[in-house]
Amino acid sequence: MGVSVRVLEKDYVARHASGVNAGGVRTLGRHQAELPLSLAAKAMWLEIADLLGDNCGFRAVGGIRIAETESDLQKVRERSGAISALGLGYAERVIDSRELFERLPALARHCVGGLFVHDDGYANPYRTTLAFRRAAERAGAKFEEGTVVESALFKENGWTVTARDGTSYRAQTLLNCAGAWGHRMAAILGDDLPLSPNGSMMIITARMPPMVVPVVGAAGRSLSFKQFPNGTVLLGGGHRAPVDLDTNEAKVDPLALGKAASTVIDLFPFMAEAQAVRFWSGIEGFMPDGIPVIGASLNAPQAYHAFGFSAHGFQLGPAVGQVLADLVTKGTSRIPIEAFSPSRPFFSIAA
C-alpha cells in the first residue's frame, strides 16, 4: 500500500549527521539489540545500486577490530562467542596475529589479533543521502527544505503541522526523524526523551601510499580508520565536541583530535608522515544507552520516532526506512524493534 509522503527539513537534505558522518557500513561491534536491524540493512547495502540507481560509493572491503593486548584478545573472543550464540546466521570471526598482519601489513607489530567481518565496508554519506532523496522523489515524495516545525496538533484523525513561516501541512501520520533535534520534536508531541546532542569529529588527510584496505577499529580504544582508493585517510573514532542546536554550530576540539591522531600513529606508524587537510564535526544525537529510539510516540496518536542513533546510524538507515514504512502502512515491523522503544528504561553505558 502506497502513501503520500512529505519531508519537512529544517535546513537542507544531508546538512547534518546523515551527510557528514564517517560513512561506516558495519555490523562489526554493534550492540546486540541492533544486529537484526543491521543485518537487514546490510542486505540492502549489498544491493544498493539496484535499490537506488547509484552505488553510493559503497565498497565491501571488510572490517577489522584490532586487539592490541591479550586482554583485548580475550574480549574479542568473548564477543565472537556471544554473537554466535544469538543464532542469527552472522559471525564476527576471531583472527590471529598472522592473519591480522596479512590483512594489515602496515599495522604495528605489538597487536595480537582481532575480529573480522568480510562484507563490512563504507560508503559516501553525502552521495548516499542524496541518492535516497532522488529515489524518494521518483516515488512521489515531496521535500520542503528550510522548513522549521514550530507546532503539531492532532485533531479529527489527522495532524496539522505548522512551520515557523506560518505554513501548515496536513498528514494522517507524523514521523519524527529530526536527528539531534529529535528530543525537541518529541517534546512537541508530549514525549520527554533524554537525548544529548554532541559533535562527532573527523580528520581527512592528504593522499598517502595505499597501505590499508579494510575499515579498522580497535577493541581497546577509540578508532575509526578508512583509507580510500585515492590514498586519502579518514580518521574518526567517536571523539566528541560541543554543539549549539540553535545556531547549527559544531565545534572542533584540537586536544581530542590530537588524541585521535596519536592513536592512529601508535597503530599505523606510517601515518606519522600524514598531512591533515580538513577537520570537521557533524551534529548528532546520543541516547544514554547508546541505541536509538524507534517506535510509536508515548503520548501522541499516529506518530512515530526514529532518532538518537548515537553516531552509528548511517548503516542502519535503509532498514530503519523499511521499519517506518511498515509501521505506517501495517502497524507493525517485520524487524524486531522492541529494544528501541521510547518507553524503555534509559541508562548510561560506557563509551
The domains of the chain, with CATH numbers, are 63-118+196-286 (3.30.9.10)
pLDDT of residue 348: 63
The Cα 141–Cα 143 span in angstroms is 7
pLDDT of residue 185: 98
Query: What is the value of pTM for the model shown?
Result: 0.94
pLDDT of residue 349: 57
The overall average pLDDT reported for the chain is 95
Q: What φ, ψ does residue 305 adopt, rounded to 5°?
A: -110, 145
Closest Cα partner for 198 from 251, 260, 236, 149?
251
pLDDT of residue 1: 59
Local mean pLDDT, 10-residue blocks, the chain (351 residues)? 91 90 95 97 98 98 98 98 97 98 98 98 97 97 97 93 97 97 97 94 94 96 94 87 91 84 94 93 94 98 97 96 97 96 79 39
pLDDT of residue 252: 86
Exposed/middle/buried for residue 192 (C-beta within 10 Å: 0-12, 13-18, 19+): exposed
